[in-house]
A and B are shown apart, each in its own frame.
Chain A
Amino acid sequence: MKVILDTKQIEQILRDLTKNIISDTPPDLDIAVIGIRSRGEVLAQRLSSRLSQELGKDVPCGTLDITLYRDDLNSPRGNSQPHVRTTEIGFNIDDKIIILVDDVLYTGRSTRAAMAALIDLGRPRAIKLAVLVDRIGREMPIHADYAGYKTDAAPVKLVQVNLVESDGKDEVVIE
C-alpha cells in the first residue's frame, strides 16, 4: 500500500480546484456542485462551501445516485450488485454550470451514467467534471475539466480515496 496523497495535499488540491473553477466561470453565471455517491458527495460538499465562501454567494450542492443509469445493470460483473440510493438535488439545474464531482476518474463509465442522469433532471448550461484523482484507463471519450492528481496505476491496482467524513481520515492510497 502506498499513500499518494495525504491530508495536506488533498487540502491543496481542493484549494486549487476552487481557484481554477472560479477563474474559468464568468461571474454572472450560476454555479452548482453535484457529487456522485459516495465519495463524490463528500468532495462536492467541501467544494461547494469553498466556492460559496470565495464567491460570497450561495453555491448549491446536491448528490447524484447513478445506479439506475449504469451500463452493466443487465450484465452484472462479479459481486458488484447495484444498490439504489437516493438522488438529492434540491434546486433546479436548468441553465446552471454544473460542476460534477467524483473521487476517481478511471473508465469514464460512471461519468457517462451521471451525465445521462443529470440530463433527465433538466438542461444545465454546461457540465464540467472535477475529480480528485485522474487515473489512466479510459473506456469512454470522457476527460476531466479539473483534475487534482494524475496517476498511471496499473489495472490490477486499487486506487482508494479515504475522506474524514466517511473513513475517518483524508488520504489517497494505491493497493
Chain B
Amino acid sequence: MALKRKSKQFNWHRKHLLGLRELSAEEITYILDTARGFEQVSTRSVKKAPPLRGKVVVNLFFEDSTRTRNSFSLAASRLSADIIEFTKKLSSVSKGETLLDTAKNLEAMGIDIVVVRHSAGGASRFLSRNMNACIINAGDGFCEHPTQGLLDVYTIRKIKGTLEGLKIAIVGDIAHSRVARSDMWAMTKLGAEVTFVGPPTLMPTEVGRLPVKVSYSLDEVIEKVDVINMLRIQFERLGGNPFPSIREYSHYFGLTVERMKRAKSDILVMHPGPINRGLEMESEVADGRNSVILEQVTNGLAVRMAVLFLVNQAAAQKLKT
C-alpha cells in the first residue's frame, strides 16, 4: 500500500501532450498510474465524473479515424466536457482555410483543449506554439501518436506487471507508422527491448539512430518475444512498390496460426487497428486467446481520460501562478 504521507510526490506540469519522445519514464508511469483511477468510471452505473465540467474539447481531425476520435469523444464526455467534432470534409478547409486559421477561429469561441490529427509531422507542436489552449497530439504524419503508445504500454503493464526486461517485436510498415515510433519511445523508456521487424523497404531511413534492434525476418524473432505488435499495411501512404505482392508480404510477415505455434504460450498479440484481416494477421489469431486487441481499445479510453484530466490540471495550475 502506497500511503507514505511525507514522500515527495511527482507533479505533472505539461499542458500539452505532443509526443512520448520528450517524456521521462517517470512522467509516462505517472500517466499510466493516473489512468488506473479512470477505468472504473466506465464500469459503474453513472459512467460520468465531473472534473472537466464547463470545459470545451475540440476534436480537430484532418485525417480519417474511427477509434481515436470516438475514444477521445467518449473520454471527454465521461469527464463532463463539451465536445466540438471537426472533420476536414465538413469544414472550411475545403475552401482553403489554413490549419492555424481554423484553430484560431475555434479558439475564439472559447475552447480549452484541442485534440489534433494531421498528416503533417509537427502539426500539434506548431499549434502549441501559437495557441493558448492545451494541445493533445492524436497522430501527426509519421512522427508520433502518443495516446496509442500509452495505451499499448498500459495494456502490457496491466497483464505482464511491468515492461522491464520484456522483448517486444513491432512488425510491418515501420516507415509510415507513428504508432511504431510512439510505442518505441514508451516501451524502451520503461525498460523493454524493442525489435522492428519488416522488409528493408518499410524500415525508416533513420532506424540506425533509434534505440531498437532491427530484423528482416519474422521467423527469426517469433520464438523470442513476449509481445508482438502487428502494424497495418497503410495502403493510403505507400508510394512505389515496397514489396512484390500482398501475398508475398503476408507469407513473410503475416502473423499466421502456423507461426503462432512457435511463439511463447503467453505472448501478447496486439494491433493498433484497423486490421487488414488475412494480410498482416489471420483472423484466427486476431480473435485468438493471445489477442488483446479489444483490451487495447478499452484501455485507450481510460488513458485518454487521464491525459485530458492531466493537461487540464496543468493549465489550471499555470493560470494560478
Name A's B-contacting residues (CB within 8 A).
Answer: 38-39, 41-42, 65, 67-69, 73-76, 79, 81-87, 116-117, 119-122, 160, 165-167
Contacts and interface: CB of A to CB of B under 8 A. Distances in A.
Contacts of A116: 50
Tell me the dominant secondary structure on chain A's binding face. loop
Contacts, number: 74
A86 B3 contact: no
A60 B287 CA distance: 37
Nearest to B12: A81
B49 A65 contact: no
Interface of B: 1, 3-5, 9, 11-12, 33-34, 36-41, 44-46, 48-51, 54, 79, 306, 309, 312-313, 316-317, 320
9 nearest A-B residue pairs (beta carbon)? A166-B3, A84-B37, A120-B46, A68-B49, A81-B11, A84-B34, A68-B51, A38-B3, A86-B37
Contacts of B317: 76, 81
A86 B34 CA distance: 8
A73 B48 contact: no
Given A73-B313, A73-B316, A81-B11, A65 B3 contact: no
B310 to A, nearest CB: 9
A42 B3 contact: yes
B233 to A, nearest CB: 38
B313 A76 contact: yes
A120 B49 contact: yes
15 contacts: A38-B3, A38-B5, A41-B3, A68-B41, A73-B316, A81-B313, A84-B34, A84-B37, A85-B36, A120-B46, A120-B49, A122-B44, A165-B3, A166-B4, A167-B5
Nearest to B35: A84
A69 B51 CA distance: 7
